[in-house]
Amino acid sequence: MPTPSQPLYIRMPGDIVGSPPYRATGCLMQGLFLKGDRSAQQRFCDSVLNRPANGTQIYHAITDHVLMTAIYADTMGSTDPIDASKGVVKEWDVGFWTAVRGGPVGAEDSWSVYWLPSYLFVDSPSAMASGREIYGYPKTAAGFEGRSNDHADPSVTLIVEHFPTFGPGKRPVTEPLVRIAPAGPGVAAPDLISEIRTAWDVIGGLLGGEPVRHSGFHLPPWPSLSMPQILLQQVHDPVALGRASVQSILTVAPKTLKVTGGGLLHAPVKVSLTPSASHPIADTLGLAASRDAELGFWITQDFEVGLARRLL
């Protein structure tokens, strides 16, 4: 809720950042589970959540596995009364997610499980700007090449401007950073239900839509239908360099409005990551530079992203 001390947001000419809620229709989501390293993900979690929380809250990575998603929305737009009249865009998005559990120190029984994004790549300037400015999503602009029209084929190559190495006088290059491609002849998964249950044994979550317990706590919901997400929202301070003029930990939970289809991806699928100093995906998540996914799924749906809730 707004407070009396908060100034009104000034809508500037040329501003392409629409206000939430956002609604996506005609959306294909593809998901892959990749074997990473929990200790590497914990270091990332410590950096972006535990350090800002400064002892008042604590979060733990709960699995080695990383969820990689690709979202292709035919139509994305604001449902805000003013911004809804401005128009809609398509939006393509590829991201990497870590499952974390945590909350206030000393209140472990009330802790929740969230998906923490580390790298998100989008093809839309408005999606990048609104995601970064409003929620704190770590979005980066990318070109998408070689995408398949088959829902069960996640093939795509992300073309990203990045720094392969850092150093005085070094310049960025624009090249393939992430490649998703068949690792061999595509084969359909033998049994949908058993494969979904296998996925849930891998990542931890819900079976049949009902919460289950593992190691004494509730596991995260099936990512294709609801992804309670945790984000570090921050803004560089232009006066006190090295400081943040805004820094909050937020949570937001996209809501599925309608599911129109789903299934499993053709297997096997290989994900290849280019070494990068500015976007060290493999190092951050403990992933191999080239690795086969353990399981993949697809779902078509309409969904909505509403207001965030401040955790800190």
pLDDT digits (tens, 9 = 90+) for 234-252: 999 999 989 999 999 999 9
CB of 293 closer than 8 Å to CB of 70: no
Q: Is residue 205 predicted with pLDDT exceeding 70?
A: no
Asked if residue 17 is part of any domain, the answer here is no
Q: Is residue 200 predicted with pLDDT exceeding 90?
A: no
Asked if residue 249 is part of any domain, the answer here is yes
Q: What is the pLDDT of residues 223-234, one digit of tens each?
A: 445 678 999 999
Q: What is the pLDDT of residues 140-161, one digit of tens each?
A: 999 999 999 999 999 999 999 9
> What residue has token string 């629409």?
18
Nearest Cα neighbor of 50 from 95, 103, 97, 115 is 103
DSSP 241-280: TTSEEEEEEEEE--EEEEEEEEEE--EEEEEEE---SS--
> Residue 215 — very low, low, confident or very high, per pLDDT cuts 50/70/90?
very low
> Among 214-228, 254-268, 279-293, which stretch is predicted with the lowest mean pLDDT?
214-228
Residue 38 DSSP SS3? helix
Q: What is the pLDDT of residues 178-191, one digit of tens each?
A: 999 988 765 554 44
> Residue 5 — very low, low, confident or very high, per pLDDT cuts 50/70/90?
confident
Asked if residue 297 is part of any domain, the answer here is yes
Asked if residue 1 is part of any domain, the answer here is no
Asked if residue 6 is part of any domain, the answer here is no
Asked if residue 8 is part of any domain, the answer here is no
Range of the domain at 58: 29-310
Q: What is the pLDDT of residues 105-150, one digit of tens each?
A: 999 999 999 999 999 999 988 888 889 999 999 999 999 999 999 9
- Cis peptide bond N-terminal to 268, omega within 30: yes
pLDDT averaged over every residue in the chain: 86
Asked if residue 165 is part of any domain, the answer here is yes
Most confident of 83-87, 122-126, 275-279: 275-279
Question: What phi, psi does 101 have (nearest 5°)?
Answer: -130, 140
Residues across the chain: 312
Asked if residue 11 is part of any domain, the answer here is no
What's the burial of 167, exposed, middle or buried (CB within 10 Å: 0-12/13-18/19+)? exposed
For the chain, what is the domain count? 1
The CATH number assigned to the domain holding 88 equals 2.40.400.10
| Percent of the chain residues past pLDDT 90, beyond the cut | 63
> Residue 296 — very low, low, confident or very high, per pLDDT cuts 50/70/90?
confident
> Among 79-93, 185-199, 221-235, 259-273, which stretch is predicted with the lowest mean pLDDT?
185-199
